[in-house]
């Protein structure tokens, strides 16, 4: 299907005046954000500034105190924006089938590699194992993991941090999402493994979706190398609002007394932990 210019301009997510407090702790004080379809967007900002809280509102897991979140409904013609607050749980679950999520701590289920890829495909899509195994092989290969039966039967507890991360991306890809959300996808990975995840995020973003649309990617991160490699539109949250919104190059070059100290602190926040299993040469991990 041809990708027309109208769909490029279409909005995927619109956040308006989003306000959220937990008790007397005001976390978001009026976030406005518009994400267009096919865009890659990074959300940055100090620890505890509300990045994950913002994401959880976009995913419909938290309800705003004020303001609203609208997201594209890919089951409707032209995928118009729908207000999350107007949807019931079933409709929210339906929207989720078009989204893929890769969380900070992977959130893999206990069990095998195949169990992890299969769960959503069987629960949400109603597919049986005969249908799931070829999909599993395809998405494992797409993230440079072995696609052998042996690897699919590996317990996820035996995977290194880098392999677990790639499996989390493979699991998200299996659902052929229109939108991919990553929450600190490279935190705790060594630089070499992180670089493979950067490439994976780029490749996954550029691959066309099932409907022939461009995929939308939203990444929460403190990873400067990721930002330099992918050069996404960069949005910085500060004191509960969007403080900066523009190209990464402008963010990097900014002399702002708010941005400069954060920029210098990013490697510390990124806090790379080292997992020696990630040093295994690619292709020898299974």
Q: Please tell me what DSSP assigns to residue 112.
A: B
**Contact footprint for ligand ADP (CB under 6 A):** 22, 27, 45, 47-53
Biggest CA-to-CA distance, the chain: 57
Indicate the residue among 98 and 222 with the shorter CB distance to ligand ADP.
222
Q: Strand runs (DSSP E) across the chain, as ranges?
A: 11-22, 25-36, 40-44, 66-72, 81-83, 99-102, 179-183, 216-220, 233-238, 241-247
Closest-CA residue to 166 (of 102, 251, 215): 102
Indicate the residue among 10 and 41 with the shorter CB distance to ligand ADP.
41
Cα–Cα–Cα angle for 179, 183, 189, rounded to 5 degrees: 125
Indicate the residue among 206 and 239 with the shorter CB distance to ligand ADP.
239
Indicate the residue among 11 and 65 with the shorter CB distance to ligand ADP.
65
CA distance 60 to 81: 14
Indicate the residue among 21 and 76 with the shorter CB distance to ligand ADP.
21
Figure out which of the listed residues 19, 29, 52, 92 binds Mg ion, where binding follows CB under 5 A.
52
Least distance in angstroms from the C-beta of 51 to Mg ion? 5
CA distance 148 to 137: 8
Least distance in angstroms from the C-beta of 166 to ligand ADP? 23
Among 44-52, 116-124, 223-231, 274-282, the segment contacting Mg ion (CB under 5 A): 44-52
Question: Choosing among ligand ADP, Mg ion, none, which partner's interface includes residue 117 (Cβ < 5 to 8 Å by kind)?
Answer: none
CA distance 118 to 124: 10
Least distance in angstroms from the C-beta of 218 to ligand ADP? 13
Residues in touch with Mg ion (CB under 5 A): 51-52
């Amino acid at each position: 299907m041809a990708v027309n210019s109208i769909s490029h301009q279409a909005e995927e997510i619109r956040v308006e005046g989003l306000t959220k407090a937990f008790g007397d702790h005001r976390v978001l004080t009026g976030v406005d954000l518009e994400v267009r379809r096919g865009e890659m967007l990074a959300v940055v900002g100090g620890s505890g500034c509300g990045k994950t809280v913002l994401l959880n509102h976009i995913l419909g897991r938290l309800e705003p105190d004020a303001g609203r979140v609208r997201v594209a409904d890919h089951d409707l013609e032209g995928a118009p924006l729908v207000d999350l607050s107007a949807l019931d749980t079933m409709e929210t679950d339906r929207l989720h089938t078009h989204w893929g999520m890769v969380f900070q701590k992977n959130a893999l289920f206990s069990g095998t590699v195949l169990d992890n890829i299969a769960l959503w495909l069987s629960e949400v899509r109603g597919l049986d194992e005969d249908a799931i195994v070829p999909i599993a092989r395809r998405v494992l290969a797409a993230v440079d993991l072995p696609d052998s039966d042996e690897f699919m039967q590996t317990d996820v507890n035996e995977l290194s941090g880098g392999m677990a991360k790639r499996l989390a991306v493979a699991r998200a890809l299996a659902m052929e999402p229109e939108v991919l959300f990553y929450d600190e996808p490279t935190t705790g990975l060594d630089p070499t493994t992180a670089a493979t995840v950067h490439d994976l995020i780029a490749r996954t973003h550029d691959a066309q979706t099932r409907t022939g649309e461009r995929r939308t990617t939203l990444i929460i991160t403190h990873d400067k190398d990721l930002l330099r490699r992918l050069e996404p539109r960069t949005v910085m949250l500060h004191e509960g609002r969007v403080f900066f919104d523009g190209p990464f190059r402008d963010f990097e070059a900014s002399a702002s007394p708010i941005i400069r100290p954060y920029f210098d602190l990013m490697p510390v926040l990124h806090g790379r932990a080292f997992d020696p299993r990630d040093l295994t040469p690619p292709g020898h991990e299974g």
